[in-house]
Amino acid sequence: MKVLGVILAGGKSSRMGQDKGLLELGGKSFVELISEKLDEIGADEIVISTSHLAYTKFSFSLVPDLISDIGPIGGLYAVMKSKQADYYFFISCDSPMISVSILEKLLEQTKENGSATVCKIGDQLYPLVGCYHRSVFELIEKQIENKRYSLMKMLDVIRAKTLDLDANTSSTLLNCNTPEDYKRLKDEPINH
């Protein structure tokens, strides 16, 4: 069984004004913080889904989008097409506080349901904090062929399950999109 950890860093970071994965907390970049958690759960390999050359400073392979300008689904597709694995963790680079226990639960549930499991808090789904089984690749590919790029619709098509988390774990899934989010995150205690 091969588990691939994927850090999604292909976005434009327009609201932040700089590459989010390179931001630091406690002297470590978001990419390093996420990769440490993926290491802890035993990922066989870690890659970064991006074409931004700034990420070459890390020791991970970069996987650029194969189809440009279709949003995050393009990153999922490119990685699954380029890299063979049984399970894929897709973690957005702006979620540096993700916990090992959440990652373990995502993998466990995906092994049980054979599809995908993404985090959910209340009504909010987090498709970019999830674990996807190899079997969903063809369905994702078909969505792209049909020019259906919505991640939420994709989750329905692949019959993704959810890992329901309570509201007090929301900081572990915090999407750091703006300088204000980053300041708030830096003011919180770091949970390694």
> The domain spanning residue 50 has which CATH number?
3.90.550.10
| Helix residue spans in the chain (DSSP H) | 30-40, 72-82, 100-113, 137-145, 151-157, 179-187
Task: Please state, in angstroms and rounded to a whole number, the distance separating the CA atoms of residues 111 and 13.
Answer: 33
List the binding residues for Mg(2+).
94
* CA max distance for the chain: 44
pLDDT in tens, 111-155: 999 999 999 988 989 999 999 999 999 999 999 999 999 999 999
List the binding residues for GTP.
8-10, 20, 65, 94
Residue 124: inside a domain: yes
Task: Please state, in angstroms and rounded to a whole number, the distance separating the CA atoms of residues 67 and 75.
Answer: 9
| pLDDT reading at 13 higher than 60 | no
Provide the number of structural domains found in the chain: 1
Residue 162: give the domain boundaries. Answer: 3-187
Residue 19: inside a domain: yes
List the binding residues.
8-10, 20, 65, 94
Residue 75: inside a domain: yes
In whole angstroms, how large is the CA radius of gyration of the chain? Answer: 15
Residue 20: inside a domain: yes
Residue 148: inside a domain: yes
Paired sense of beta strands 124-133 and 116-121, if any: antiparallel
| pLDDT reading at 189 higher than 90 | no
Residue 192: inside a domain: no
pLDDT in tens, 83-117: 999 999 999 998 898 999 999 999 999 999 999 99
Q: For 123-157, b where at least 16 C-beta lie within 10 A, e where not — what string? A: eebbbbbbbbbeebbeebeebbeeeebebeebbee
Is residue 167 a contact partner of residue 174, using CB atoms and an 8 Å limit? no
